[in-house]
């Protein structure tokens, strides 16, 4: 049987070159959204096509790839993207955070601290942090050009006026290198501090919206807040039911029809290894 | 005679890109960009950059000492990049440090600062000549980079370039098959 053969990592070289140029510009202007062509991928837009294109442009034969979906290595999106690159690039894959050189992620940053030499690739549904406040892209480009982020601060202020606190739990806007307000992708606000002066490279790809942006290592990434209402990320007040962890981000699982809940680590690799080290509840 | 491009276009370009990604993410880090087929007098690293990043969508400008018939022919054949006469039109400008058209390069616009030039600057070597102290995104505290063959005009221009942020020109310093990046965010001071 003759299998259809693709170029290494699926994308053609011309497309990779365009993405590579966008990535270098994105690193040079931290937090600024760089437009790119965004090709059709063999899955629907909204399922991680931006992240996959970034991964395809970056990945090499020696890379070890980890893919997570909300922290888990074993959910559909993570499994199929990992298998995809196993097939079209023939790279080694892993679930271990510290073994990976390239980590494609949907909506989480691993609990295991990242190190130099690792590249994070984020799947981004909506790269424009101002989109709920200003529907026109021509206008948001202008606001970014002028560093005019008043509407975002007013939104956060109105949250406090109405609810007593900033109500954003995920996709919490950050100020990068003191210049651009950026969407950190829908990671929980709990993960935002991990971006600040991280030793790893962080690349963001939005396929449907055709934008690439980046945070270089050791770059200031500050979650927006007010002096009298400091940034306070939300986390369930519970311990992981599997490993007993109290300092990780927890998923809430409803386990019966009377509303009983359990909390377990969202990062499956971290939780599994903690249990393997004999630290169960 | 036309010399060759990458021996393995896919994997050599990937390796060169990863070196450039690492260099840009960590300014002042010296990376290797080997390319055995570079036409004289184009240094290996400059040839590798052209093969990795340039194509028909990127206008290339060469300074007078690089714009030899063999270099122009090699670039046209391997990258299909349009060669432009005015440095202001260039996406990639390849120039010797002492004759570089610093002030004439595109710095992008406020709304699209990415539409600026990348200046590939040929220096004598990464050995003590000028000792630069670098800081900014990608650098934990400070980094020291020694560069031989940088004119004093470079430092004055960099200060102005930094003031334009987010507009500005990104620089790739190269010598032989070595390269180091100074993206627009990097603060460059002479020790």
- The chain A residue lying nearest B140, using CA atoms, is A218
Cross-chain Cβ contact A218/B53 below 8 Å: no
- The chain A residue lying nearest B20, using CA atoms, is A24
Cross-chain Cβ contact A60/B18 below 8 Å: yes
Taking only the tens place, the pLDDT of each residue in B100-114 is 999 999 999 999 999
In order, the DSSP letters of A101-158 are: SEEEEES---SSPP-TT-EEEEE-S---TTTTT---HHHHHHHHHHT--HHHHHHHHH
Marked catalytic residue, from A46, A50, A243, A259:
A243
Residues of A in contact with B114 (CB under 8 A): 22, 25-26, 29, 32, 34-35
For residue B190, is it within any domain?
Answer: no
Q: What is the pLDDT along chain B (191 residues), one digit of tens a residue?
A: 899 999 999 999 999 999 999 999 999 999 999 998 899 999 999 999 999 999 999 999 999 999 999 999 999 999 999 999 999 999 999 999 999 999 999 999 999 999 999 999 999 999 988 999 999 999 999 999 999 999 999 999 999 999 999 999 999 999 999 999 999 999 999 98
Angstroms from A242 CA to nearest CA on chain B: 37
User: Hey, is the C-beta of A6 within 8 angstroms of any chain B C-beta?
Assistant: no
Which tokens go with A168?
């954003």
**Which of A29, A142, A201 lies at the smallest CB-CB distance from B166?**
A29
A237 contact partners, CB below 8 Å, separation of at least 6: none
For residue B87, is it within any domain?
Answer: yes
| A271 part of the active site | yes
Marked catalytic residue, from A31, A48, A50, A71:
A31
Helix axes A49-58, B9-25, angle to 10 degrees: 100
| A164 part of the active site | no
The pLDDT of residue B67: 97
| Measured CA angle at B93 (ends B90, B97), to 5 deg | 145
State the CATH number of the domain containing residue B111: 3.40.50.11310
State the Cα–Cα distance between residues B38 and B4, nearest whole angstrom.
8
DSSP state of A42: S
Q: Are A280 and A242 in contact (CB under 8 A)?
A: yes
The pLDDT of residue A279: 64
For residue B4, is it within any domain?
Answer: no
State the Cα–Cα distance between residues B118 and B107, nearest whole angstrom.
9
SS (H, E, C) B149-187: CCCHHHHHHHHHHHHCCCCCCEEEEEECCEEEEECCCCE
**Which of B118, B139, B166 lies at the smallest CB-CB distance from A179?**
B166
A277 contact partners, CB below 8 Å, separation of at least 6: none
Q: Which residues of chain A have pLDDT under 50?
A: 1, 281
- The chain B residue lying nearest A10, using CA atoms, is B10
ipTM surpassing 0.85:
yes
Helices and strands (H, E) in chain B, number of each type: 4, 9
Taking only the tens place, the pLDDT of each residue in B68-90 is 999 999 999 999 999 999 999 99
DSSP state of A257: T
The pLDDT of residue A234: 87
Residues of A in contact with B166 (CB under 8 A): 29, 32, 179-180
For residue B19, is it within any domain?
Answer: yes
| A278 part of the active site | no
| A86 part of the active site | no
The pLDDT of residue A61: 96
| A207 part of the active site | no
- In chain A, DSSP assigns E strands to 34-35, 64-69, 92-93, 102-106, 119-123, 174-176, 180-182, 201-206, 211-215, 221-223, 250-254, 261-265
User: Hey, is the C-beta of B67 within 8 angstroms of any chain A C-beta?
Assistant: no
- Supply φ then ψ for residue B120, to 5 degrees: -95, 110
For residue B191, is it within any domain?
Answer: no
**Number of inter-chain CB pairs under 8 A, A vs B:** 104
Q: What is the CA radius of gyration of chain B?
A: 16
User: Hey, is the C-beta of B118 within 8 angstroms of any chain A C-beta?
Assistant: yes
Instruction: Provide the domain count of chain B.
Output: 1
Cross-chain Cβ contact A21/B139 below 8 Å: no
Domain of residue B132 covers 9-181
- Count the Cβ atoms, other than its own, within 10 Å of residue A117: 11
Q: Which domains does chain A carry?
A: 13-223 (3.40.50.11310), 235-281 (no CATH)
- In A44-111, DSSP assigns E strands to 64-69, 92-93, 102-106
State the Cα–Cα distance between residues B138 and B180, nearest whole angstrom.
13
For residue B186, is it within any domain?
Answer: no
Cross-chain Cβ contact A141/B24 below 8 Å: no
- Count the Cβ atoms, other than its own, within 10 Å of residue B17: 25
Residues of A in contact with B112 (CB under 8 A): 141
**Length of chain A, in residues:** 281
Sign of the alpha-carbon dihedral angle for A152, A208, A196, A172: positive
- Count the Cβ atoms, other than its own, within 10 Å of residue B99: 12
Angstroms from A274 CA to nearest CA on chain B: 30
């Amino acid at each position: 049987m003759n299998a259809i053969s693709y170029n290494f990592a699926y994308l053609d070289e011309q497309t990779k070159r365009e993405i590579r140029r966008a990535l270098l510009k994105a690193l040079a202007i931290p937090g600024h959204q760089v437009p790119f062509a965004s090709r059709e991928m063999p899955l629907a837009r909204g399922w991680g096509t931006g992240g996959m294109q970034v991964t395809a442009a970056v990945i090499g034969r020696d890379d070890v790839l980890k893919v997570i979906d909300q922290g888990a290595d074993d959910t559909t999106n993570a499994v199929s993207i990992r298998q995809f690159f196993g097939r079209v690039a023939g790279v080694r894959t892993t679930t271990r955070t510290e073994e990976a050189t390239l980590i494609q992620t949907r909506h989480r940053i691993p609990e295991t601290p990242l190190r130099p030499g690792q590249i994070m690739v984020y799947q981004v549904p909506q790269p424009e942090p101002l989109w709920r406040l200003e529907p026109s892209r021509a206008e948001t480009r202008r606001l970014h050009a002028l560093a005019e982020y008043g509407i975002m601060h007013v939104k956060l202020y109105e949250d406090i006026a109405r609810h007593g606190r900033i109500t954003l739990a995920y996709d919490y806007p950050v100020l990068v290198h003191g210049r651009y307000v950026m969407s950190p992708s829908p990671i929980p606000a709990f993960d935002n501090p991990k971006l600040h002066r991280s030793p790893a490279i962080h690349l963001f790809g939005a396929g449907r919206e055709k934008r690439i942006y980046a945070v270089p290592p050791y770059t200031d990434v500050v979650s927006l807040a007010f002096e009298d209402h400091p940034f306070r990320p939300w986390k369930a007040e519970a311990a992981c039911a599997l490993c007993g962890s109290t300092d990780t981000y927890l998923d809430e699982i409803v386990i019966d029809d009377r509303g009983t809940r359990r909390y377990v680590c969202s990062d499956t690799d971290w939780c599994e290894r903690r249990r393997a080290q004999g630290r169960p509840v | 005679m036309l010399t060759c491009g990458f021996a393995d276009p896919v994997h050599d370009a990937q390796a060169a890109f990863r070196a450039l990604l690492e260099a840009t993410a960590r300014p002042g880090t010296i990376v290797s960009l080997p390319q055995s087929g570079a036409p004289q007098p184009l240094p290996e690293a400059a040839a590798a950059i052209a093969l990795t990043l340039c194509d028909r969508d990127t206008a290339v400008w060469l300074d007078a000492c690089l714009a030899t018939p063999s270099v122009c022919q090699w670039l046209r054949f391997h990258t299909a990049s349009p060669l432009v006469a005015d440095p202001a039109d260039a996406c990639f400008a390849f120039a010797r440090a002492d004759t570089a058209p610093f002030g004439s390069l595109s710095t992008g616009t406020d709304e699209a600062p990415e539409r600026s030039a990348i200046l590939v600057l040929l220096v004598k070597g990464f050995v003590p000549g000028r000792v630069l102290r670098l800081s900014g995104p990608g650098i934990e505290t400070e980094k020291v980079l020694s560069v031989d063959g940088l004119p004093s005009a470079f430092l004055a221009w960099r200060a102005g370039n930094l003031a334009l942020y987010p507009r500005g020109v990104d620089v790739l310093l190269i010598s032989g098959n070595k390269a180091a990046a100074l993206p627009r965010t990097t603060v460059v001071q002479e020790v």
